[in-house]
Structure 1
Amino acid sequence: MSRDTFAFTSASLRSLRLEQELQDWEDARRALAHRRAMTRRPLPAAPRLRHGNERIQTVRAPPPQIRCRDPAIHNTFMCGDMKRVYAVLKEPGMVNALMETAHEEMVWAPEMGMWTLSSKIKQTSPLRLAAGRGHSGCVEELLFRGAEVDADPGGRTALHDACSGGHNVCVRLLLDHGADPDLLAVDGNAPLHLCNAAETYQCAEHLVTSGALVNVAQRDSSLTPLHVACRRGLEDHVELFLSYGGDVTAQTQEGETPLNAACAGAERPADAGRFLRIVQKLLAAGADAQTAGRKKHTALHNACGNCCPRIVKLLLEHGARADIANCAGYTPMDCLLQVVEDYPDQQPEVVAQSLLNYGAQPPSPRMLKLCLLSPATLEVMLNCYAVIPACEEWLEDTPEELLKEHQSFFNAVRRMSGQPRSLQHLCRCALRRHLGSLCHFAVVQLNIPSTLKDYLLLHNDGQLR
């Protein structure tokens, strides 16, 4: 084969064809730009001097913005090294220079049918670099030299970065120099939305005292800062926002309220106390425990899904409906049964008692097998039936160590399966059925011994009668 030829494979031909198409497109674009330039109207004539001694005011265009890709200069502002900062700022244009960082990423090119290496440019500014890392001295120097406080290269301002990092001194400096506390970033977040950790409390306090809108909505999801604080369990933030008029009835695009967000965020048992106090604050501020989202999912559904006994009881006391179903047909009881295996030590039996005492219907017998890892919960469920349903099949799945630990209880379940219960139990079932959703309120007011009240309200005693 000659040195002046090469093999024309399908890939090489496709590449040549794409290159030719790109060149044709560029030629057409240039021709269009030329035609537009030639058809523009001429500029008006310059004004003439009347007496010959006037001066025409000239307007000078601002100097072009400096673009800097030098990592050493970037690090100067990121580290807050004031000696080097002074050296860099000897060039006045560096105060508002556009800091660019190039990242090589693999992207899919559908027109070529392959992955290609593409260069992505990320932009920021000296003020953003310094504020995002809490270098207040550097921030103050940049502001003194005329840095644009609301400049948002890369889609965020220095105030967003300072709030995200919890740097309250920088936040105060930026606000004092006129930073807009309600400016939305390109992702739709206001600075208050980024105060989403415990260490950002002072940042949030500076913002609201400077007039930031406490109910500002995220552009896409309509989340308010109160939603964010409730979901993260930030008790101090919640109290701050409520004191400045935070709206407890605000709903996101999905219809979620701050109360629903708080109940959904209480996932870890260690954080249950914090979220309980937040729920108390929201209810005291007028939150409605019955409000459901677009999918008819209520705060009670979320609290039961996280197995939070005290929150569940509090919601029921404030009017939450124990028998309401979401759009998927799940009731709060169904949400509880699905997580009993995940929270056997989180008192799921107390949640079950509260739901049943406030009007929840007993679960289907085929759902009882979900309570195997919590015999106390299984006891509460079985005491809702006038006759213990057949259980031989699902009892076989009980772990051996659990059977040994609760041998007498499981023996009683097997023995009484399908058998009529005691007259005392049948009277309890009849009375509870008559009272319905008012069972808890009515039984508490009865003038009867406390032990009998506990019996009527399904408190555990480890026995089946």
Structure 2
Amino acid sequence: SYVGCFWVERTPVHEAAQRGESLQLQQLIESGACVNQVTVDSITPLHAASLQGQARCVQLLLAAGAQVDARNIDGSTPLCDACASGSIECVKLLLSYGAKVNPPLYTASPLHEACMSGSSECVRLLIDVGANLEAHDCHFGTPLHVACAREHLDCVKVLLNAGANVNAAKLHETALHHAAKVKNVDLIEMLIEFGGNIYARDNRGKKPSDYTWSSSAPAKCFEYYEKTPLTLSQLCRVSLRKATGVRGLEKIAKLNIPPRLIDYLSYN
């Protein structure tokens, strides 16, 4: 079977890396084992260690010359795998060895993976080093779509605060459509506060509220916002944030205005 063949092809270096057996790994490296050996699926020992969040092994492999941006059969790099594991330590190690934060992938980017795993610390770190907030995956859409579909509210807040486009669409489907489908009122409110369009229609011509059950909490939430327009201060906040663009928080912090206003604009 295919799975069997995958395991047969794994080397002792892969095994030690995946299990976090750093002493064993060190001995293998010292005895001349190849750290860039790939399996049938092009999985390197560095992928295996990153996916399991084995930081000590990641460190040993990188120091021994493991290719930092090697791709497996899905096109994922070790940084994607480290983000999927939510290991901030592995992410920092890979970045310190020059891992690309925006590798030219056809699949989910490292930021997508961090949003999937729900690690807001990883999300914040990736954004700080220049992750593309609008990276588009044909299956998932943007990182914001992923974070909303998985209901990782802390990740959603980090993305929105960093200037992710709240109305980005995947087949016309917005993050608000996702929030309605997962019936999460807190998520719906957060997206609307950041300027989410409650009238956006997906490729089936449906608004987010069309995915709620009448008289349920999410339905009532949409109803409230349909009847009650956003306050003037709220509208000003959204348009000023839009004007400052991506990574606008840094610019807002430098504005010559009262600290209370800076806090309001920063959603603190």
Normalising by structure 2, we get a TM-score of: 0.78
Partner deviation per Cα, 1:423-452 (whole Å, 9 max, x = no partner): xxxxxxxxx5xxxxx62426x99xxxxxxx
Identity of aligned residues (%): 30
Q: What is the correspondence of 1:170-189 to structure 2 with a 5 Å cutoff?
A: 170-189=57-76
User: For residues 353 and 231 of structure 1, do their structure 2 counterparts lie closer, same or farther at Cα, with a shift above 3 Å needed?
Assistant: same
CA distance in 1, matches of 2:67, 2:120: 26
Paired position in structure 1 for 2:231 = 441
Paired position in structure 2 for 1:231 = 116
Is 1:324 matched up with 2:209?
no
- Indicate conservation of the 8 Å contact 2:52/2:85, yes or no: no
Paired position in structure 1 for 2:222 = 355
How far off its partner does 1:120 sit? 4.8
Q: Which residue among 181, 198, 208 is the counterpart of 1:305? A: 181
Q: What is the correspondence of 1:65-76 to structure 2 with a 5 Å cutoff?
A: none
User: For residues 328 and 181 of structure 1, do their structure 2 counterparts lie closer, same or farther at Cα, with a shift above 3 Å needed?
Assistant: same
Is 1:283 matched up with 2:160?
yes
Which secondary structure state, in structure 1, belongs to the residue aligned with residue 229 of structure 2?
helix
How far off its partner does 1:197 sit? 2.7
Report the residue type matching 1:190 in the other structure.
T
Report the residue type matching 1:133 in the other structure.
R
Q: Which residue among 139, 150, 167 is the counterpart of 1:265? A: 150
Is 1:247 matched up with 2:247?
no
User: For residues 120 and 230 of structure 1, do their structure 2 counterparts lie closer, same or farther at Cα, with a shift above 3 Å needed?
Assistant: closer
- List alignment gaps of at least 5 residues for structure 1: 1-102, 106-118, 267-274, 341-347, 360-431, 433-437, 446-465
Paired position in structure 1 for 2:31 = 145
Report the residue type matching 2:185 in the other structure.
P
Which secondary structure state, in structure 1, belongs to the residue aligned with residue 9 of structure 2?
strand
Which secondary structure state, in structure 2, belongs to the residue aligned with residue 156 of structure 1?
coil
Is 1:131 matched up with 2:131?
no
How far off its partner does 1:352 sit? 2.7
Is 1:193 matched up with 2:80?
yes
- Indicate conservation of the 8 Å contact 1:323/1:332, yes or no: yes
How far off its partner does 1:162 sit? 0.7
Report the residue type matching 1:239 in the other structure.
R
How far off its partner does 1:309 sit? 1.4
CA distance in 1, matches of 2:121, 2:27: 32
Is 1:213 matched up with 2:100?
yes
- Indicate conservation of the 8 Å contact 1:214/1:246, yes or no: yes
Greater RCO (CA < 8 Å, at least 6 residues apart): 2
How far off its partner does 1:217 sit? 4.6
CA distance in 2, matches of 1:193, 1:255: 15
Paired position in structure 2 for 1:373 = none
- Indicate conservation of the 8 Å contact 2:176/2:208, yes or no: yes
CA distance in 2, matches of 1:247, 1:439: 32
- List alignment gaps of at least 5 residues for structure 2: 236-268
How far off its partner does 1:330 sit? 2.2
Paired position in structure 1 for 2:55 = 168
Q: Which has the larger radius of gyration?
A: 1
User: Alignment RMSD, CA only?
Assistant: 2.6
CA distance in 1, matches of 2:2, 2:38: 23
Partner deviation per Cα, 1:176-218 (whole Å, 9 max, x = no partner): 11111111012321111212134x2211221112211112254
How far off its partner does 1:231 sit? 2.0
Report the residue type matching 1:260 in the other structure.
H
Which of the two has greater strand per residue?
1
Which secondary structure state, in structure 2, belongs to the residue aligned with residue 204 of structure 1?
helix
- Indicate conservation of the 8 Å contact 1:217/1:223, yes or no: no
How far off its partner does 1:311 sit? 1.6
Report the residue type matching 2:46 in the other structure.
L
Report the residue type matching 1:197 in the other structure.
S
Q: What is the correspondence of 1:22-41 to structure 2 with a 5 Å cutoff?
A: none
CA distance in 1, matches of 2:96, 2:212: 42
CA distance in 2, matches of 1:124, 1:254: 29
Name which of structure 1's ranges 303-312 and 257-266 shifts more when overlaid on structure 2: 303-312
- Indicate conservation of the 8 Å contact 2:103/2:109, yes or no: yes
Normalising by structure 1, we get a TM-score of: 0.46
Which secondary structure state, in structure 2, belongs to the residue aligned with residue 124 of structure 1?
coil
